[in-house]
Structures are given as structure tokens and as C-alpha cells.
Amino acid sequence: MLFNSIEFIIFYLLVFVIYWSIVDHKKQNLLLLISSYVFYGWWNWKFLSLIIVSSIIDFSVGRMIFKTNSDKKKRGWLLVSLCSNLGLLGFFKYYNFFAESFYDLVSIFGWRPNDMTLNIILPVGISFYTFQTLSYTIDIYKNKIKPTNNVVSFFTYIAFFPQLVAGPIERASSLLPQIEGKRSFSKDFFKEGIVQISVGFFRKIVIADSLGEYVDAVYGNIDIHNGTTIILATIFYAFQIYYDFSGYSDIAIGTAKLLGFQFNRNFNLPYFSRSLTEFWRRWHISLSSWLRDYLYIPLGGNRGGRIFTYRNLMLTMLLGGLWHGSSWNFVIWGGLHGLVLSIEKIIMTRDNYSNIKNKIGFLGHFTTLLIVLFAWIFFRSQSFDSALNAIRTIFSFSYGFPFIGDINVMVNSIFVLFIGIAFDFILYKRQINLEELGRNFNLSKITIFSSVTVILLILFYSSTNNFIYFQF
């Protein structure tokens, strides 16, 4: 079930009314669990078995890790969690990728084995709920949290529908206590949630989907377009994926808030960053912090000297790129980010870094944006050759009018993008987030704000546009 569908609106309104008519929070949790399984099963009920299997394994493993006093047995149980969860993720998401890569490699030496690929459907959300359930067992192993004894609470934590298929990736230390505790209807939460949901739908349907029409036309046939067209499409894509994914996060956070839950922020105006390091503190925060805590730091982090720090940083970003999809383009995208982050790490260790940071100003913003845009070419291109063709065209200086057949598409994209950037700039300059914005609204402002949003959504709505991160 998609957030941007009529089915979800009806589904959520029913859940909301029934949920707040129930007094007992344990019964509320049972409703949320059943609703979450309906939400996910609406797409393909067969894949519910994967979520349930993962939940059973990690609920049991978490308790066994906590009960045993043997470090060896603790590691053994943690290995069960890692192997089972990453095994499922690896099979469904990466089997064909590695099978094709193996075939290409051995073909160089003249061996052409039979086709080893399988007709595998990638379960929606598996990358997100796998990381979420893994963080639970790892945190228990590290004595950061205690396991829950309530099956319904844990299963609800894994399958909670607002963030099930595309995050934010919530830690058990933050979300589980909220699930196990009593919730009460909050006026502030209601106002914040309505504003965040409204902004999320606006970002997705009005801005991201409008930009996507131009981007798809260009990147769908990159060879026929000039450099100007590709540059504009790349800029549009940078904001398309941002508004698409941040829009999803806004809706997820807002819908959870209306049910009494507080999710962590997932985006913080990343394109206003002055460095790539800052960019990753603002972009997909739940993923970047997960990679930092469960991959970069366990690899050694910045301990062990500079060489090991750069190695750990590169490995983290390469695997972070691969997490996004089974393609070498994603690995290259991650590698480019890892390389620049390593260079920035070198600069940051210099004695005069504070002076450099103070003087960098606009140049830092501009350079960071160029690096991010260049890397997005690999992320969006359909193949490695397509990405190379796009880069060759850009640097061949074959510029001209960025025309794709219908000028209205370009004009409309520029118009909605201007609105989006202007709104973000106001938030950035005023140092205010959407939660604070909603909290400061009274009922009349909430009504006007949401009504205008609904009108715009009706004008721009298309039921065919999935969220980009569903494919990851």
C-alpha cells in the first residue's frame, strides 16, 4: 500500500479512529500490528512470512543473548541473527547481482557457464526492516538495551507501518519504549503531524513527481540529449530524490505522530551543507547514523591511525552504496562519497582547519553541491555505460537548449522546484524545523495550510508514481 494512494488514506483514517477509541495501549499495539501486516500484505501477502520469520528469530535471539553469561555463546547467538537476516537480504537483493558479476568475470577467461540467475522478486522494505531488527540484537549484545518479553510489542516494532517500507530506521532504544508505554492524544503532536504530512505529500506529489517527468525523459534515453539537458536533468534528479524521500519520511513521521509516536528526524536540509561530511549528517540521517554505529565504528572507526580510518570510511561508504541496490553504479556512487569524505578527513586534521572552515563560505556550499550532483549521475543512470555517456556529453561542451519535446514539462519543473527551494531556504534561515512550524500554528492556520495542500495535491496527483526508495 502506497502513502500516495486513496487506499492508504481510507486505511489510515480507519486505523486512526479505531486506535484512539481503544483505551488499553496493549490492545492498541495489537491493532497496530494487525494493521501493519494488512498494510504490507496489500502489496504482496506472501512476503509477510519474511518479516514474521525475521521477527521470530530476533525476538528469540535477543532473549538468548541476554540470558547467557558466556561471551562465546553470546557471539554465537549474534551470528545467528546476522547470518539469518543478512542471508535473506543477500539472497533476495544480491543473488542475481553476484551471479551476473561472476559470469562476467569468468567469461574473460573463456568459461561461459549456464545462466545462474533466478527470477527473484525483491520484497519491498527488506533493506530497512533488516537493519532495524539487526540493531535490536546488536544493541542487546553490546548491553545497550534489554530485550522485551512482549511478543506483540516486538513484532509491532519491526512491522510498524509508517516506517516499514522506507524508514526512518528506528532503533529499539527509541521506539520500543514508546510502543510498550501508554500513549495519550496530544494537541501539539496532532498539529505537528498534520503539517508534516501536508509538507510530505506536497514534496512528493507536487515537486518530486513533477521533476521526475523531465528526469525520466532524459535519463531514459541519455544518448540523444545534449550537455545542457543532462546537467538540468541531473539537478532535477538531485532534488527529485530529496523531495521524494524526505517527503516519505515527513509522511511517516507525521502519521506516527498522530498515533502518539515520536520518530527521529531523517532529513535536515542537506543541500545547504558546506561539506560532504555535513551533507551526510543531514541526508538520510537514520541510515548514515546506522552505518556509523554498526559498521564504521566496529571496523575500527578513527582508531588505529589515519590509513585505517580512511579504509574504514571507504568500506562503509562502498557497502552503503551497495545497500542501495545490486548494481556497480551504486558501489561507484558510494566510493565517490567515501573518497571525498576521506579527503575532507585529511583537511580536518590540519592545524589551520578552523580558519579554513570559517573562510570557505559559499565556495563550500557550491563545491559540495557539485560533488553530490556528479555522484548522482551514477546513482540515477540505468547502467555504467549510460553514466559514462552522460559524463562524456557534459564535458564535451555540447551545450544547447535543454529541450525534451514538451517545454511545459521543463517550465513546470523549474516553477515547483523554485517553490520547494524557497520554502527550505526559509526554514534554513529561520533555523526552524517542521515540528516547530506545526507547533506554532493555531487551528485556523492548520486548516488553511492543509486545505491549500489538498487542492494542490488534487491538481498534481498521479497514482502511478511510486516512491523512489521502494526499489532499494
Residue of 25, 225, 284, 324 marked catalytic: 324
pLDDT reported for residue 99:
83
Largest interatomic CA distance in the chain: 72
Question: 86 Cβ partners below 8 Å, 6+ apart?
Answer: 130, 134
Taking the mean position of all CA atoms in its chain, how far away is CA 446? 28
Q: What is the DSSP code (8-state) at residue 115?
A: P
pLDDT at 4: 82
Q: Which of 361, 283, 347, 350 is nearest to 317 (CA)?
A: 283
- pLDDT tens for each residue of 205-243: 999 999 999 999 999 989 888 899 999 999 999 999 999
Q: Which of 258, 36, 299, 261 is closest to 152 using CA atoms?
A: 36
Q: Within 13 Å of residue 35, how many CA atoms lie on the same side as its CB?
A: 23
Residue 397 three-state SS: coil
Q: What is the pLDDT of residue 153?
A: 96
The 3-class secondary structure across 223-289, one letter per residue, is: HHCCHHHHHHHHHHHHHHHHHHHHHHHHHHHHHHHHCCCCCCCCCCCHHHCCCHHHHHHHCCHHHHH
State how far the Cα of 262 lies from the Cα of 181, in Å rounded to an integer: 13
Spatial distance between the Cα atoms of 109 and 130, rounded to a whole number of angstroms: 37
The per-residue pLDDT for 445 is 84
- Alpha carbon distance 393, 391 (integer Å): 5
> How many angstroms separate the CA atoms of 238 and 231, rounded?
11
pLDDT, tens only, 330-372 = 999 999 999 999 998 888 776 666 666 666 777 888 999 999 9
Identify whether 337 is a catalytic site residue. no
Q: Which pLDDT does position 20 carry in this prediction?
A: 96
Question: Whole-model pTM?
Answer: 0.91
- The enclosing H or E element of 31 equals helix 25-44
Residue 224 neighbours by CB under 8 Å, 6+ apart: none
pLDDT tens for residues 171-211?
999 999 999 999 999 988 999 999 999 999 999 999 999 99
Q: Is 471 helix (H, G, I), strand (E, B) or coil?
A: helix
Sites in the chain below the pLDDT cut of 50: none
For residue 142, the model assigns a pLDDT of 94
